[in-house]
């Protein structure tokens, strides 16, 4: 097997006495789309933030393209982040900048091109996520949540990254809008040919955008496989989550 694009080995992370990740192992192959599923508060976002370098794992190794990325200096980290795009859960658009500058932010900050050219690219990416050019000069706060997500998606793909991360891409959207975002992600994944790692607790979405699904439970990846086999998985944790049952090994912790 070729070298995985992203490789996690024994990644642990604790906040104070609360152990969130207890040893995450995960491989994502080049061009593959993997969705990490799991209940709220199981550490999906923490895993993503560790890979992105926003959080430093306590132990374990994270490799991107075979290169160890834990403990990199800020400038080395920037080099790695150049090939990465990220769609944040709430969009995380910069509300002090108009839409097109949001989309072109990565291009401008990396000085890959001038402002005119960056605007051209931004308009192209906006068209790709189905937004009309006249919105380019609107302010993020004037857009609906669904539109903000699309702008966030356009920003994530603006620099043609090799890896794109999606943090709960469909959360807080109505079913139609959620499906539209899913289609966009699949489309972008194929169009750009990027490796995608998403986190979600929306099974519908996971099935649609994932080539492979990995289940995070109690700080570990307890199961991984293609979406169809998730339906019939023998693992009781996966079975409970996929079918959304109250009874099973996952107990809702009302109070930790």
Partner 1 sequence: MKLLQAIGRVFLAFLGAAGRLIMFAITAVTHCFLPPYYPRIMIRQMIEIGYFSLPVVGLTAIFAGMVLALQSYTGFARFSAEGAIANVVVLSVTRELAPVLGGLMIAGRVGASMAAEIGTMRVTEQIDALTTLSTNAIKYLVVPRIIAGVVMLPILIFVADIIGVFGGFLVAVYKLGFNPAIYLQNTWDFLEPLDVISGLVKASVFGFLVALMGCYHGYYSKGGAQGVGAATTNSVVSASILILCFNYILTEAFFGL
Nearer to partner 1, 16 or 244 (CB): 16
Judge whether 121 and 104 are in contact, CB under 8 Å. yes
Per DSSP, the three-state class of 222 is: strand
Q: Which residues are paired to 86 by β-bridges?
A: 165
Residues between 147 and 186 with contacts to partner 1, criterion CB under 8 A:
155
Nearer to partner 1, 75 or 253 (CB): 75
Q: How far is the CB of 64 from partner 1 (least distance, A)?
A: 13
Return the closest-CA partner of residue 80 out of 110, 52, 48, 111. 52
Residues between 31 and 70 with contacts to partner 1, criterion CB under 8 A:
49, 52-54
Q: How far is the CB of 150 from partner 1 (least distance, A)?
A: 15
Instruction: Mark 63-102 with x for binding to partner 1 (rule: CB under 8 A) and - for no binding.
Output: -----------x---x--xx-xxx-xxx-xxxxx------
CA distances from 244 to 13, 141, 214, 222 (A): 27, 35, 16, 17
Reported as half-sphere exposure (CB side, CA atoms, 13 A), residue 56 has a value of 7
Tell me 142's DSSP state.
Answer: G
| Size, binding site for partner 1 by CB under 8 A | 24
Assigned token pair, 222: 């307890």
Task: Give contact residues for partner 1 (rule: CB under 8 A).
Answer: 49, 52-54, 74, 78, 81-82, 84-86, 88-90, 92-96, 105-106, 109-110, 155
């Amino acid at each position: 097997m070729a070298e995985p694009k992203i490789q996690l080995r024994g990644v642990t992370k604790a906040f104070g006495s609360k152990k969130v990740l207890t040893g995450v192992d995960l491989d994502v192959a080049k061009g593959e789309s993997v969705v990490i599923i799991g209940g709220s508060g199981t550490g999906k976002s923490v895993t993503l933030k560790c890979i992105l370098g926003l959080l430093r794992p306590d132990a374990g190794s994270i490799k991107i393209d075979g290169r160890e990325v834990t403990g990199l200096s800020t400038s080395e980290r920037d080099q790695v982040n150049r090939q990465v795009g990220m769609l944040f859960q709430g969009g995380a658009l910069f509300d002090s900048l108009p839409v097109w500058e949001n989309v072109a932010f990565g291009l401008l900050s990396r000085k890959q091109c001038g402002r005119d050219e960056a605007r051209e690219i931004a308009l192209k990416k906006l068209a790709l996520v189905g937004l009309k050019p006249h919105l380019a000069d609107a302010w993020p706060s004037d857009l609906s949540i669904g539109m903000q997500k699309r702008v966030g998606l356009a920003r994530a793909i603006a620099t043609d990254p090799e890896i794109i991360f999606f943090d709960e891409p469909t959360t807080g959207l109505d079913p139609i809008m959620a499906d539209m975002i899913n289609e966009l992600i699949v489309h972008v994944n194929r169009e750009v040919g990027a490796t995608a790692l998403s986190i979600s607790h929306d099974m519908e979405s996971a099935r649609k955008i994932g080539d492979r699904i990995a289940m995070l439970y109690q700080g570990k990846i307890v199961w991984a496989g293609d979406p169809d086999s998730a339906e019939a998985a023998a693992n009781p944790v996966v079975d409970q989550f996929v079918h959304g049952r109250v009874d099973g090994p996952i107990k809702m912790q009302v109070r930790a």
